[in-house]
C-alpha cells in the first residue's frame, strides 16, 4: 500500500530556508527518512513537492485512486486555500495535515488552517518527526 506525502510551496528550500525554524535537513533528507520508516511498517511512499497550488489539488485527486492516505504539508497554502480544503473533502482517503514548526507558537496568520476542518487530524511542531508521526497515524487509521 502507498501513502502520498505531499509538500507545498517553499519546502524545496528546506535546509537553506530559516534553519532556526525549520532545521538543517533538506527535503531529500526528509524523503529518505519517510522512505526508511514507511518501508519498516510495510508501506510505500510517493513523495512530492510543488510550489503551485493546482498541482497539490491534482495530486490529492490522484492519491484517491493510488494511495490509502495522504500526509500533507501544504506550507503557506494551509492558511489560504479553499481549493485544498475542497480537494480534501472531494476524496475518500484520510488526509493528515502536518507542519514542521508549531504554527500556533508563531505569527497570528499561521494560527488559522483552511484545511484542518477537512483533514482527519493535524500534527505540528516536531520538526521532521512530524512526517513520521503522520505516517504512523495513517498506518493505524488504515490497517
Binding residues for substrate: 73, 79, 86, 100-101, 110
* Cβ nearer to ligand DQA, comparing 9 with 35: 9
For residues 42-73, one letter each, b for 16 or more C-beta atoms within 10 angstroms of the residue's C-beta and e for the rest, the string is ebebbbebbeebeebbebbebbeeebbbbbbb
Helix and strand numbers (H, E) in the chain are: 5, 5
37 a catalytic residue: no
Chain-centroid distance of CA 143 in Å reads 20
* Cβ nearer to ligand DQA, comparing 78 with 81: 78
Establish if 110 lies at the interface with ligand DQA (CB under 6 A): yes
Among 34, 93, 100, 138, binds ligand DQA (CB under 6 A): 100
Contacts of ligand DQA in 44-73 (CB under 6 A): 73
Establish if 35 lies at the interface with ligand DQA (CB under 6 A): no
Judge contact between 57 and 8, C-beta under 8 A: no
Q: Kindly list the residues in this chain that would bind ligand DQA in the complex (CB under 6 A).
A: 10, 73, 75-76, 78, 99-101, 103, 110
Amino acid at each position: 500500500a502507498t501513502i502520498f506525502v505531499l509538500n507545498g510551496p517553499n519546502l524545496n528550500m528546506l535546509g537553506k530556508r530559516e534553519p532556526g525554524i525549520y532545521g538543517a535537513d533538506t527535503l531529500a533528507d526528509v524523503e529518505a527518512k519517510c522512505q526508511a520508516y514507511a518501508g519498516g511498517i510495510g508501506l510505500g511512499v510517493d513523495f512530492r513537492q510543488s510550489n503551485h497550488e493546482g498541482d497539490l489539488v491534482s495530486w490529492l485527486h490522484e492519491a484517491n485512486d493510488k494511495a490509502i492516505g495522504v500526509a500533507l504539508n501544504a506550507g503557506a497554502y494551509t492558511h489560504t486555500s479553499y481549493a485544498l480544503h475542497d480537494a480534501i473533502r472531494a476524496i475518500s482517503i484520510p488526509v493528515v495535515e502536518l507542519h514542521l514548526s508549531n504554527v500556533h507558537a508563531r505569527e497570528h496568520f499561521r494560527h488559522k488552517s483552511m484545511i484542518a476542518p477537512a483533514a482527519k487530524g493535524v500534527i505540528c511542531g516536531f520538526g521532521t518527526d512530524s512526517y513520521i508521526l503522520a505516517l504512523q497515524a495513517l498506518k493505524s487509521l488504515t490497517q
